[in-house]
């Protein structure tokens, strides 16, 4: 699951901030407290992001299984149609029998077309459903992170907290330089993962502490 709104950073707010920082008023600068956060890092490190990834992968796998079954039905029906067409041209049987086989082939063709239509509809619906699920889960995760940032900002009397992972429309960093000491990403990651289920933060393939 990707943190997909990095390119929507309010550039106007950044420009206003930089102009304010450039102001000769030392009093205004002294009152301003800035912080930074790597939203992508926090997003990727949140245990609910990993849970959301697993949920969407399971849903995608279920849809893929159904899709493959429908494709197999389509291929089987198409092969039956092909054989019926061939048999309807068999000169060894009577014209009446050939006509009956031709009608059977026409019926099978209708079936093939209906299956093909169903496959396309299922594929489109599955893609839409998965996209909606990913968006709903992603939005909930971002909401959690933003609420924690708001709490930290209020408690620490921050004037503004900038996202150092944000990029402009030209795919260039919005924040070009920052002081490491003002970054609160690690604090956020630690706090937002309080209460994470056991093992949910263990990287795939890593040994669980205490395991032999």
> In 22-94, which residue ranges form alpha helices assigned H by DSSP?
26-31, 39-45, 47-87
Which of 181 and 6 is assigned the larger pLDDT? 181
Count up the domains in the chain and report the number.
1
Q: Work out the number of other CB atoms within 10 angstroms of the CB of residue 75.
A: 12
Q: What is the structure's pLDDT at 4? A: 54
Question: Within a domain: residue 140?
Answer: yes
Question: Within a domain: residue 98?
Answer: yes
114, containing H or E segment: helix 95-155
pLDDT of residue 19 exceeding 90: no
Q: Work out the number of other CB atoms within 10 angstroms of the CB of residue 168.
A: 13
Q: In angstroms, rounded to a whole number, what is the distance separating the alpha carbons of residues 181 and 58?
A: 40
Which domain range does residue 128 map to? Answer: 31-192
Q: What is the structure's pLDDT at 187? A: 94
Q: What is the structure's pLDDT at 112? A: 95
pLDDT of residue 8 exceeding 70: no
The pTM (predicted TM-score) of the whole model is 0.73
pLDDT of residue 20 exceeding 50: yes
pLDDT tens across 136-148, in order?
999 999 999 999 9
Question: Within a domain: residue 17?
Answer: no
């Amino acid at each position: 699951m990707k943190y997909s709104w990095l390119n929507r950073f309010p550039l106007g707010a950044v420009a206003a901030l930089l102009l304010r920082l450039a102001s000769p008023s030392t009093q205004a600068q002294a009152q301003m407290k800035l912080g930074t956060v790597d939203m992508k890092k926090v997003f990727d490190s949140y245990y609910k992001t990993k849970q959301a990834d697993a949920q969407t992968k399971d849903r995608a796998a279920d849809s893929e299984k159904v899709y493959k079954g429908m494709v197999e039905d389509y291929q089987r029906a198409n092969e039956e149609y092909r054989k019926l067409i061939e048999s309807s041209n068999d000169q060894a049987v009577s014209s009446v029998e050939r006509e009956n086989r031709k009608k059977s082939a026409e019926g099978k063709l209708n079936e093939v077309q209906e299956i093909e239509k169903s496959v396309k509809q299922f594929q489109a619906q599955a893609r839409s459903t998965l996209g909606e699920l990913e968006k709903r889960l992603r939005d909930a995760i971002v909401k959690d992170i933003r609420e924690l940032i708001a709490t930290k900002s209020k408690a620490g009397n921050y004037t503004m907290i900038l996202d150092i992972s944000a990029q402009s429309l030209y795919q260039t960093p919005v924040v070009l330089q920052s002081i490491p000491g003002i970054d609160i990403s690690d604090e956020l990651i630690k706090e937002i993962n309080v209460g994470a289920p056991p093992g949910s933060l263990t990287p795939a393939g890593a040994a669980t502490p205490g395991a032999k």
